[in-house]
Amino acid sequence: MPDPKYTKPWHGVLREAIEWHPTVDVNACIGCGTCVTGCSRMVYRYDFDNRKPVVADPLNCMVGCTTCANTCPTHAISFPSLDTVFQLEARPEVRHAIEDDLVARRDDLAWQDAVPHADRIINLKVAAMTQPGPHTLLLTLRPVSPADALCQFMAGQYLELLPPQSGWLSRAYSIGNAPRDDGSVELQVRRVAGGRMTEWLFDGVRVGDVIHARGPQGHFTFRSEPGTPLAFIAGGTGFAPVKAMIEQRLRLDPQRNIVLFWGVASAEDLYELDEIGGWAAQDATFRCTLAIERGALPSVLPAGTRADVGRLSDVIHSSGEPLAGCDVYIAGPPVMMPDVLDAVTTLGVERDRVVIDSFGV
């Protein structure tokens, strides 16, 4: 019988609704018993007559755990794809349940020997808010005082916004511009249905409000040698750090041979076409391919830009762009990364020439 202490809801999701448990290939299994004795949750029992493990209580299995498969000497144990777990973790209600659990158990979980955080807290006033599409908010934030100015950050870094409710954790948003003399920054926010932070930013914040932030942080920064051809790949609002890096490159090193791929769900999410057109007008070597998963293509595109219907990875693969020899910078949600990486490596890009930003990672 499943043990109730192991089968309680996983971050608010009924355990019975999650397909996660081991499967044993009895032909490959040598009956060593490592999986049976190594699992503290009693997922397995041992058939002593046939010398084989039996998955007796699959609901006892910890969601995401693959220890038994990792230690099986004949690789006889398999699990569903980890995408099963990643898709659950992407759901707002799951993220909120994790956040609430952290906050509720703060006294038990906090690292008591923590040193003071090295990044300063800054105060930024909302100078402008525009909503170029139904799912995207552009925030322009200016420093409240000279001490809050962000003039020295590196393009590609991000800020942690500190929500007004003290019980929430901070959220990371990439800076969508190269450094400016006035220290202002632009953030590009994608609305998440049911998301606490995005609901506050879209519906609760007004021009003139002061937002507390920490940073800048992050290692998704430019590191290529002069003269190296560059490819930038963005998924959704992963366009923000890519935009900042391209903007800086065109300012400091024009005629660099830059190619951009930008993947969105639909054409209404293409909120920076004018900016892309300006880059093409500024640099004749710049070119852009848009990947639109569903719906119609834009009726008008900037010079140097083309658009195809399909997933970002498929459009990259079929683009014909000579990416071999490029340094590649990729920013976007974790779910897109495996297929995009496969596409660029198939086109001849060496893995050590790829720099990844998966929303703050």
Distance CA 75, CA 244 (A): 45
DSSP string, 281-313: HH-TT-EEEEEESSSPPPS---TTEEEEES-HH
Distance CA 128, CA 33 (A): 63
Q: How confident is the model at residue 15 (pLDDT cuts 50, 70, 90)?
A: very high
For the chain, the first-to-last Cα distance in angstroms comes to 40
Q: List, for residues 115-153, the tens digit of each pLDDT value.
A: 555 567 899 999 999 998 888 999 999 999 998 888 889
Q: pTM here?
A: 0.81
The reported pLDDT for the residue numbered 120 is 76
Distance CA 4, CA 6 (A): 5
Distance CA 223, CA 233 (A): 16
- Percent of the chain beyond pLDDT 90? 67
CB atoms under 10 Å from CB of 55, counted, come to 18
Q: List, for residues 304-324, the tens digit of each pLDDT value.
A: 899 999 999 999 999 988 999
Q: How confident is the model at residue 19 (pLDDT cuts 50, 70, 90)?
A: very high
Q: How confident is the model at residue 335 (pLDDT cuts 50, 70, 90)?
A: confident
- 359 has pLDDT over 60: no
Pairing of strands 171-174, 185-190: unpaired
Q: How confident is the model at residue 112 (pLDDT cuts 50, 70, 90)?
A: confident
**Mean pLDDT confidence for 45-66:** 96
The reported pLDDT for the residue numbered 304 is 86
Angle at 338 between CA 336 and CA 339, to 5 degrees: 70
**Mean pLDDT confidence for 277-290:** 90
- Residue 43 backbone phi and psi in degrees, to 5: -70, -35
**Mean pLDDT confidence for 280-284:** 87
Q: List, for residues 197-253, the tens digit of each pLDDT value.
A: 999 999 999 999 999 999 898 989 999 988 899 999 999 989 999 999 999 998 887
What letter represents residue 324's amino acid? A
The reported pLDDT for the residue numbered 173 is 94
- Percent of the chain beyond pLDDT 70? 96
- 28 has pLDDT over 90: yes
- Across the chain, mean pLDDT equals 91
**186 dihedral zone (left: phi>0; alpha: psi -120 to 50; beta):** beta
Please, how many CA atoms are within 13 Å of residue 233, restricted to the half-sphere of its CB?
A: 31
The reported pLDDT for the residue numbered 143 is 95
The reported pLDDT for the residue numbered 115 is 55
Indicate if the alpha-carbon torsion angle 99, 105, 111, 117 is positive or negative: positive
Distance CA 67, CA 35 (A): 8
